[in-house]
Amino acid sequence: MTSPTESGTDFHPTHVVPQEGLPAWEAPDVSRPTAPLDPFLPVQLLSRQGAWAEILCSNGWSAWVDGRLLVSVPQPPPAGGGQPTRAEDPRPLLARSTDILARYRQAAEELASGLVDPGRFRDGTRGLRAGVVIDGESVWLYDESTGRWMYGDGGHLVTYAVVTGPGGSEQPSAAEPEPGAATGGPGRAAQADDREPTRVVMPPEAREG
């Protein structure tokens, strides 16, 4: 973590660390790890840089974490006249997943009918990535643009799990002593055999149960 600030700014927690704790870095760079954050630690979000989030602790120390894993602290309602905020709308991600599925299905039909060979099938489907699990009112959607699994109940989505770390590498496990070491740094994907377990953030409904 970086040294405490001397500005005297009041600490106003906006998030808490999830129950598994969080790896932390001195800067938005996976090669500069620092002490991990304790579970349920209140923090104040200072800024965002992609998936990275700069946070401030109550003792004045700051650090950078994977902002997608922070749990929001409910804020008081606006003073009046403001528009209520909405959680992430599931419809755009549902539409994108439907489009990707349709493209894959079309390619699979062309392969099965002999219109294309396996090589063209591989070329045509390269880069397609989607994930949808539906169980009654619950849905899990994979957002390939951010590397997140999202959980929803039809009206909104929340982050359920993160596949990639804030720098674009595979998400390190809580026990990893040197975050980023398995991937060689930000932006470099890990080999399939080296992938760390996905970090899971339980949806509010599951935590309340």
SS (H, E, C) the chain: CECCCCCCCCCCCCEECCCCCEEEECCCCCCCEEEEECCCCEEEEEEEECCEEEEEECCCCEEEEEHHHCEECCCCCCCCCCCCCCCECCHHHHHHHHHHHHHHHHHHHHHHCCCCCHHHHHHHHCCCCCCEEEECCEEEEEECCCCEEEEECCCCEEEEEECECCCCCECCCCCCCCCCCCCCCCCCCCCHHHCCCCEECCCHHHHHC
pLDDT higher than 90, residue 115: yes
Confidence of residue 143 (pLDDT cuts 50, 70, 90): confident
Task: Please report the pLDDT score of residue 130 as a whole number.
Answer: 86
Write out pLDDT tens, residues 40-52.
Answer: 889 999 999 888 9
What pTM does this model have? 0.44
Of residues 121 and 12, more confidently modeled: 121
